[in-house]
Amino acid sequence: MLFDPDLHHRRSVRLKDYDYSRPGMYFVTICSQNMLCIFGDIVGERVILNTLGEIVEKEWMATADKRDYIELDLYVIMPNHFHGVVTIRDDSRRDMALCSATT
């Protein structure tokens, strides 16, 4: 089913004027384009990841290796989307990394 704004009534749950780069725990959802089931299939009650789903999992796990100010928590990969919990720690090295990435 394609997204229909009249049917789904989606709205942002982001807090206005909140700086989401601040330290804290964040719940992240990433959807595939057009909600296509490109990460795997449901077989019985389990999700069986395909190659793209395995790449999503590998890159999620690598996030903490690449960014030492990040801690990963629970995550789940579904056929057409991903949910994860990430913690951004209060770390001065993070600020230096962000500055060097933008210059």
Give per-residue pLDDT as tens, 4-52. 667 666 667 788 888 888 899 999 999 999 899 999 999 999 999 999 9
The SS3 call for residue 64 is: helix
Report phi then psi at 34, rounded to 5.
Answer: 60, 20
In a domain, 8, yes or no: no
Degrees (nearest 5) of the Cα angle 2, 39, 6? 15
In a domain, 56, yes or no: yes
In a domain, 15, yes or no: no
Give the model's pLDDT for residue 97.
58
Could you give the number of structural domains in the chain? 1
The answer to whether the CB of 75 falls within 8 A of the CB of 94 is: no
pTM of the model: 0.73
In a domain, 74, yes or no: yes
Give the model's pLDDT for residue 16.
87
Among 26, 14, 30, 23, smallest CA distance to 98 is for: 23
In a domain, 67, yes or no: yes
In a domain, 9, yes or no: no
Q: Which domain holds residue 63?
A: 20-102
